[in-house]
């Protein structure tokens, strides 16, 4: 009936109450301004901090963070999105790359992100991103609400999380998805 793991196939239906189309091949859903503001608040950003946005999209998160006087580095997989970031002059460094292939270097005070969710990619991205934090750093990420109730990998992941905050239903409606989301806050591993 399903060409792969049935749980992965039906999770979007469980999370949204509707069948989600695959129109967004890369899982790119821009982060709405109220969600960006909440990420910023939870990250406790200060001018001069170094911040990584490893799923930068078109800069919806990175732009407001840079405007606060933080030094923002962006990584974005899709070249068109990266071009939009470059054209807007957002950040001090921009790499067009698959974030999961980027070698970690603990150079950042904060990582603030909205990674892709499909097939629990958000867990893989967040755990990889945590390796970029300096000791005492903080990671703040939008994630699928499934991370709070799924078993296996999600259970193991929850052991690393300092706190979760559920976002309101429809938080990403303006971006074209009804998926339920949370914000996870993780301290650096060191």
Which residues touch 74 (CB under 8 Å, ≥6 apart)?
Answer: 52, 53, 54, 56, 59, 62, 82, 85, 90, 91, 93, 94, 95
Helix (H), strand (E) at residue 103: none
The DSSP string of 36-65 is: HHHHHHHHT--TT-EEEETT-TTSTTHHHH
Question: Which pLDDT tens digit goes with each residue over 33-48?
Answer: 999 999 999 999 999 9
Cα end-to-end span (Å), the chain:
45
Average pLDDT over residues 54-68: 96
Question: Which pLDDT tens digit goes with each residue over 156-190?
Answer: 999 999 999 998 787 667 766 667 889 999 999 87
Query: What is the residue-averaged pLDDT of the chain?
Result: 87
Tokens of 27: 């899982």
Angle, alpha carbons 164-35-180 (nearest 5°): 60
**Upper half-sphere CA count for residue 40 (Cβ side, 13 Å):** 21
Q: What is the pTM assigned to this prediction? A: 0.83
The answer as to whether 69 is a domain residue is yes
Question: Which pLDDT tens digit goes with each residue over 84-114?
Answer: 999 999 989 999 999 999 999 999 999 999 9
Question: Residue 57 is part of which domain span?
Answer: 6-187
The answer as to whether 183 is a domain residue is yes
The answer as to whether 108 is a domain residue is yes
Average pLDDT over residues 144-166: 91
Residue 107 phi/psi, 5-degree rounding, is -105, 0
The answer as to whether 83 is a domain residue is yes
Task: Please state the domain count of the chain.
Answer: 1
The answer as to whether 43 is a domain residue is yes
pLDDT at 29 over 90: no
The answer as to whether 1 is a domain residue is no
CATH code where residue 48 lies: 3.40.50.150
């Amino acid at each position: 009936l399903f060409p792969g793991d049935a749980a992965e196939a039906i999770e979007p239906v469980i999370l949204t109450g509707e069948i989600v189309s695959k129109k967004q091949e890369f899982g790119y859903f821009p982060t709405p301004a109220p969600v960006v503001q909440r990420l910023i608040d939870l990250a406790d950003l200060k001018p001069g901090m170094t911040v990584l946005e490893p799923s930068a999209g078109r800069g919806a998160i990175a732009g407001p963070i840079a405007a606060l006087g933080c030094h923002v580095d962006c990584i974005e997989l899709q070249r068109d999105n990266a071009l939009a970031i470059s054209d807007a002059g957002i950040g001090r460094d921009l790499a067009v790359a698959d974030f999961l292939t980027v070698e970690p270097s603990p150079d950042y005070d904060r990582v603030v992100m909205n990674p892709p969710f499909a097939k629990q990619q958000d867990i893989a991205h967040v755990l990889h991103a945590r390796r970029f934090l300096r000791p005492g750093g903080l990671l703040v990420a939008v994630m699928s609400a499934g991370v709070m109730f799924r078993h296996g990998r999600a259970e193991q992941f929850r052991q690393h999380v300092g706190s979760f905050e559920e976002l309101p239903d429809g938080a990403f409606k303006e971006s074209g998805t009804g998926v339920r989301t949370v914000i996870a806050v993780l301290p650096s591993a060191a």
